[in-house]
Each structure stands twice: as C-alpha cells, then as structure tokens.
Amino acid sequence: MTAPAPRPLRLAVTLMLVAAVASLGQAVLALVMADRIRSLALLGAVRNSVTGPFLAASAAEFTIVAAVVTGLAGAGLWAWLAVSAGRRRTWVRVAATVLAGLTVLVLVASFVIMIITVVHVAAAAATVAAVVATVLLHQRGVVPGVDAGRA
C-alpha cells in the first residue's frame, strides 16, 4: 500500500490543473475576443502614425494565434504534468520548473510585443499557478527519493 501523497504534492497537482484550465481559458478567450483584438490593433495604428494598418493587422493575428497555440499547449502539458506528479514521477519537478520558466517568459514577452487584452488575465493566472506549483514540488519530501535542492 502506498503512503498518502504529502499535502504540498496534492496542492501542487491542484495548481497544475488550475494552470491547465487557465491556459485553456486563454485559448478560448483569444478566439472569442479575436474581433476585439483586431479592433484594438487598428485603433493603435490610427493613433500611431509609425505603425501602419498592415503591421497592426499582422500584430493582431500574431497575438490571436500565439494565445491559442500557447494556451492549448500549456493546457495539455500542465494536465499531463499534474497526472504525472500525482503518480510521483521524479522527473516532474524538473519538467514543471522548465515549463513554469517558459510560461513566465511567454507572459513577459506577450506584454512587451502584443496587444494587451483580457486574455492576459488568464495567462497571468496560469503563470502564477504554475510558479507556485513548481515551488511546492521543490519542498523536501514531496517527490520520493529526491531532497530539496537536488534534481
């Protein structure tokens, strides 16, 4: 019989599932708000004479596609990692750390190069949940046979 999972591990799994749902929400919001994102881009082009309508339209389409792709990929990866963490796979801590780092980088990059919309709220929620889950996975005794500070 297996010992029950430690509380930090159960919380990390829950937060990974929250990150998966928030990532899926990001993809759905990007599709639902596609017209609004395009309108914001064109409005920005009118206000900024350096950015023409073609560049604004390209930025809008890139924003929509990037939000959908990263949202769907994030949802799938976080769900898979949550299941694997629940099964106490030792490699999950490293994989979650890498994915959380990439999630933070994508969120920061999206604020820098894309049109900021409510889609970013879902992305930020996924990022926060991912980072906290990763920190929990690094606590001593959460992953069997792995001490904190060692992979």
Tens-digit pLDDT string for the chain (151 aa): 577 888 999 999 999 999 999 999 999 999 999 998 888 877 766 666 666 777 778 878 888 898 899 999 999 999 999 999 999 998 999 999 999 999 898 888 777 665 566 677 788 888 899 999 999 888 877 776 555 444 4
What's residue 151's pLDDT?
Answer: 45
Residue 18 in domain:
yes
What's residue 115's pLDDT?
Answer: 57
What's residue 63's pLDDT?
Answer: 82
What's residue 47's pLDDT?
Answer: 66
- Contact, 85 vs 146, CB < 8 A? no
Residue with tokens 């560049």: 55
Residue 143 in domain:
no
Residue 87 in domain:
yes
Q: Report how far residue 52's alpha carbon sits from residue 126's, in angstroms, rounded to the nearest whole number.
A: 33
Domain count, the chain: 1
Range of the domain at 126: 7-137
Tell me the whole-structure pTM to 2 decimals.
0.81
Among 68, 102, 99, which Cα is nearest to 85's?
99
Residue 35 in domain:
yes
Residue 149 in domain:
no
